[in-house]
Every structure is written in structure tokens, then in C-alpha cells.
């Protein structure tokens, strides 16, 4: 079956522009996670949804970052007024309901802010 | 807070050599532990996991044992192949009050290169 997909795969934007990154989880997966990964580092948690409810946004670095999952499926991570320090790989993962801890990751979106 | 520390890389081995990648963790509760692998040009994939102390996770010839006394989850493989070349991430997920909660805390990753 189809895995987690993310779009765009690559995004180059100018400083000050807004960007929207999309994640399409595996069909039926309840939980959806966003991570950010700097070069040479492990992914860092940003935020997490169960269905459409945002359960934890403690990892969002500041109020320029927001995420939504309005229908409990596709999610969008939005970064307003981008800065060069926002350049990173943004990864989405989903997992099924219940006590499963396994997260299935998408290919990521490489964001470059110039 | 939670943290994961992996051995520094990169690690370079010859085919059929023995592999160990060290991983230690800090957590306040009862974490589950994972190894994820990222092959060149691909996303992260779960390699193996262990959900309680003394559990051994295994997959594709890789093994790791959850050692609560040493807060470690070292990855081992007896005979590596060129196709094992990848970046390996140790991670933990901590339950809160018995509720499943999948937020992952990752180590910094270890690059493994295997030469023929």
C-alpha cells in the first residue's frame, strides 16, 4: 500500500516568505507527527496530532510555526516569515491507533531559505 | 528531559566485520527503545524495537538488548554487508501514566560505511 507522502520534496524560498508543507499519512493512521532534522543531526519533534486534535505542540520553535490537520488525515505545517535558520529537512510520520509505537516516516521536505 | 546519546561516527568497516553502535539514554519513565535506519536517498525506517527491560529486538541480522541497569540499547550485527551502509538512529519513546505516546527522541545518528 501507499506510504506516507510529503510535498513538495524540495522547497527553496526567500527570507520573509511563508511556506506550507504537506503530509499525507498512511490511510487510516490515527496519529501524525512532524519532526525537523538539521544536517548531521537526528530528527527533533515539533508537534503531534491524534485525528484532528493537536495533542502536543511543545516542539514548535516559535509562533511563526503552526500546523493543522482539519479532517484528521492530511496535515499542513506552515512557517510564516521564513528565516535562514528554518532551513532543514522537515519529516512527517504517522502511526496507527492503539499502543503501537511504530512510526512510518515520509521522505521529507528539504526546505532552503535564501 | 529525555535524551539519547549515540557513539560518534562515521564508522567504516570491511564486509563481514562485526558491528557495534553504542546508544545510551536518559528518561524519567519507562521508555520504549528503537533503532531507525536511513539508507541513501530514502526516508527513515524502523529497524528494530524493544518495549521493556531485557527485551531483545532483532531484524535483518541486527540485534539490540534493552539494558535498564546501564540505560543502554547498543546495536550489533555479526557480519555486515555493503548494503548495510546507511545512517543509524537510536530513539526512545516514553509512555506517560501508562498511555501510549509516540513522540520520539532521537540520537544524532551514526554513519556506517561498509567496504567490499
A8 preceded by cis ω (within 30°)? yes
Grid cell digits, residue A41: 543531526
Tens of pLDDT along chain B (116 residues)? 889 999 888 999 999 999 999 999 999 878 899 999 999 888 899 999 998 899 999 999 999 999 999 999 999 999 999 999 999 999 998 765 444 467 899 999 999 999 99
> Which residues in B lie closer than 8 A to residue A92 (C-beta atoms)?
none
Beta-bridge partners for A68: A76
- A98 touches B at CB < 8 Å: yes
pLDDT for res A65: 98
Contacts of B38 (CB under 8 A, 6+ apart): B44, B45, B86, B87, B88, B89, B109
How much of chain A is in helix, strand and coil states, percent to nearest 5? 5, 50, 50
Mean pLDDT of A8-30: 96
pLDDT for res B7: 84
Strands (E), B15-103: 19-21, 23-26, 30-38, 44-50, 56-59, 62-65, 75-77, 86-95
CB–CB contact A101 B107 (8 Å): no
Distance from CA of B45 to the nearest CA of A (A): 7
> Which residues in A lie closer than 8 A to residue B109 (C-beta atoms)?
40-42
Distance from CA of B111 to the nearest CA of A (A): 9
Number of H helices, E strands in chain B: 0, 12
Alpha-carbon span B113 to B42, nearest angstrom:
16
Q: Is the pLDDT of residue A47 over 80?
A: yes
- Going by DSSP bridges, is the β-strand pair A19-24/A10-13 parallel, antiparallel, or unpaired? unpaired
Q: Is the pLDDT of residue A2 over 50?
A: yes
DSSP state of B54: T
Mean pLDDT of A95-106: 78
**Which residue of chain A comes nearest to B42, CA vs CA?**
A107
Comparing A1-5, A16-20, A88-92, B24-28, which segment has the lowest mean pLDDT? A1-5
The residue with greater pLDDT, A95 or A83, is A83
pLDDT for res B29: 78
pLDDT for res B96: 53
Distance from CA of A80 to the nearest CA of B (A): 24
Candidate from A44, A98, A101 with C-beta closest to B32: A101
Amino acid at each position: 500500500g501507499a506510504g506516507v507522502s510529503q510535498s513538495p520534496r524540495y522547497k527553496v524560498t526567500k527570507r520573509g516568505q511563508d511556506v506550507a508543507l504537506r503530509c499525507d499519512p498512511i490511510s487510516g493512521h490515527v496519529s501524525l507527527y512532524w519532526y525537523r532534522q538539521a544536517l548531521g543531526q537526528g530528527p527533533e519533534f515539533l508537534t503531534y496530532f491524534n485525528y484532528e486534535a493537536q495533542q502536543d505542540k511543545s516542539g514548535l520553535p516559535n509562533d511563526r510555526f503552526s500546523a493543522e490537520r482539519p479532517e484528521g488525515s492530511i496535515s499542513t505545517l506552515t512557517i510564516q516569515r521564513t528565516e535562514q535558520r528554518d532551513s532543514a529537512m522537515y519529516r512527517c510520520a504517522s502511526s496507527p491507533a492503539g499502543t503501537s509505537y511504530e512510526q512510518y516516516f515520509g521522505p521529507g521536505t528539504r526546505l532552503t531559505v535564501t | 528531559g529525555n535524551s539519547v546519546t549515540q557513539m560518534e561516527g562515521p564508522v567504516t568497516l570491511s564486509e563481514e566485520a562485526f558491528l557495534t553502535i553504542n546508544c545510551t539514554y536518559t528518561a524519567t519513565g519507562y521508555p520504549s527503545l528503537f533503532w531507525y535506519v536511513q539508507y541513501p536517498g530514502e526516508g527513515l525506517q524502523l529497524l528494530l524495537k524493544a518495549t521493556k527491560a531485557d527485551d531483545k529486538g532483532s531484524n535483518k541480522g541486527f540485534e539490540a538488548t534493552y539494558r535498564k541497569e546501564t540505560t543502554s540499547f547498543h546495536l550489533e550485527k555479526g557480519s555486515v554487508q555493503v548494503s548495510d551502509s546507511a545512517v543509524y538512529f537510536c530513539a526512545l519513546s516514553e509512555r506517560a501514566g501508562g498511555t501510549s505516546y509516540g513522540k520520539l527522541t532521537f540520537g544524532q545518528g551514526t554513519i556506517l560505511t561498509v567496504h567490499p
